[in-house]
Amino acid sequence: MFVPKAISVLSAVKKLLCLFWASPYTLLGVAIGCMGVLSGGAGRIRHGAIEFYGGFVAWFVRHLPTGRSTAGITLGHCILGQTSEGLVSVDKHERIHVRQFELWGPFMGPVYLLASAWLWIRGKDAYLENPFEVEAYRDADL
């Protein structure tokens, strides 16, 4: 009886550490999401992440360097999208990014951008050939 309880406590501690480690990006995502809600968008909690879509969030996502076809972007445990349906369509892909934020924490942004810059300098696709995106597309079967 002691072992399962100890495992559940360790699991809860691990989850809390992951939430804390990714929290700078999650807080940025929530701030953008709140602006979206204030401008007519909506939010929800789904599969352990906070999702925001519509309003300012839709405008923000549409104006990312990846263009109007971008359905969503992940910041820590927060996923921002243009529409609710769009977020559902990229759910598996974005959940892999959540896991990456849990692993890399505050280093995720700089490492992701450095990888993209390195690829761009070498004449490669800074988005599709980024190792973080390669993993997310591969593991989400997209």
Q: What would the two tokens of residue 133 be? A: 């995106």
Q: Calculate mean pLDDT across residues 114-139.
A: 97
pLDDT value, residue 104: 97
Cβ 58 vs Cβ 36: under 8 Å: yes
Surface-to-core class of residue 9, CB atoms within 10 Å of its CB (0-12 exposed, 13-18 middle, 19+ buried): exposed
pLDDT value, residue 125: 96
Q: What would the two tokens of residue 115 be? A: 């990888």
pLDDT value, residue 25: 98
Cα–Cα distance, 53 to 42 (Å, whole number): 6
Q: Calculate mean pLDDT across residues 94-103.
A: 97
pLDDT value, residue 142: 58
Report the amino acid identity of residue 14.
K
Confidence label for 42 from pLDDT (cuts 50, 70 and 90): very high
Confidence label for 41 from pLDDT (cuts 50, 70 and 90): very high
pLDDT value, residue 38: 98
